[in-house]
Amino acid sequence: MKIEYYHDSKYGNGAAVAEEFKHQMAAKGASVNIHAVKDSDAKQLPPADLYVFSSPARLGSPTSSVTSFLEELDLPEGTKYAIFTTESAPAPDKKTGKVPTDEELSKRQRVIARMNSILQGKGLSKVAEGKVHVIGIKGPLEEGWKKKVAAFADSISGQ
């Protein structure tokens, strides 16, 4: 399986996730080429069995670079893709002390939803999605993040 992986990592956390994914997929016999969206031409992606698109959260959305990149993609309908984001670990509510649930977060955190909406609007076919948390804005990555990468890699290698 040949995978092309596109990220837009500012502080290096998303880039580290990409490298770990590559390492884990190599153990499953799959090759992963990692690219920064800023250095890539969305109209000329190399052929692949699957494309992974990864963005950090920016005010609840993907970065503007990722959004434009996805909007410019020119891939055949049915092309397989997966999404992997980095987002700040949810902080407990200041009044209640409760950490918001995924459902509560999804109301304001639309990173994956927006990426899916663009890609599915182009007729692409989703095989997996996931996210890894970072502590604060710059990281580091959350404890146990490699297990999240492993779960993501497992959901892809089954395809």
Three-state DSSP state, 133: strand
Which amino acid is it at 114?
Answer: R
**In the complex with ligand FMN, which residue's Cβ is closer, 46 or 136?**
136
* The 3-state secondary structure of 78-129, one letter per residue: CCEEEEEEEEECCCCCCCCCCCCCHHHHHHHCCHHHHHHHHHHHCCCEEEEE
Pick the binder of ligand FMN from 24, 67, 79, 86 (CB under 6 A): 86
**In the complex with ligand FMN, which residue's Cβ is closer, 4 or 87?**
87
**In the complex with ligand FMN, which residue's Cβ is closer, 49 or 129?**
129
The residue count for binding ligand FMN (CB under 6 A) is: 18
* Cα–Cα distance measured from residue 106 to residue 117, given in angstroms and rounded to the nearest whole number: 14
Pick the binder of ligand FMN from 40, 65, 88, 157 (CB under 6 A): 88
Pick the binder of ligand FMN from 87, 116, 119, 156 (CB under 6 A): 87
| Neighbouring C-beta atoms of residue 149, cutoff 10 Å | 24
**In the complex with ligand FMN, which residue's Cβ is closer, 59 or 78?**
59
- Judged by CB under 6 A, does residue 14 bind ligand FMN? yes
Quick check: 114 and 57 in contact, CB under 8 A?
A: no
Q: Which residues bind ligand FMN (CB under 6 A)?
A: 9-14, 56-60, 86-88, 109, 134, 137, 139
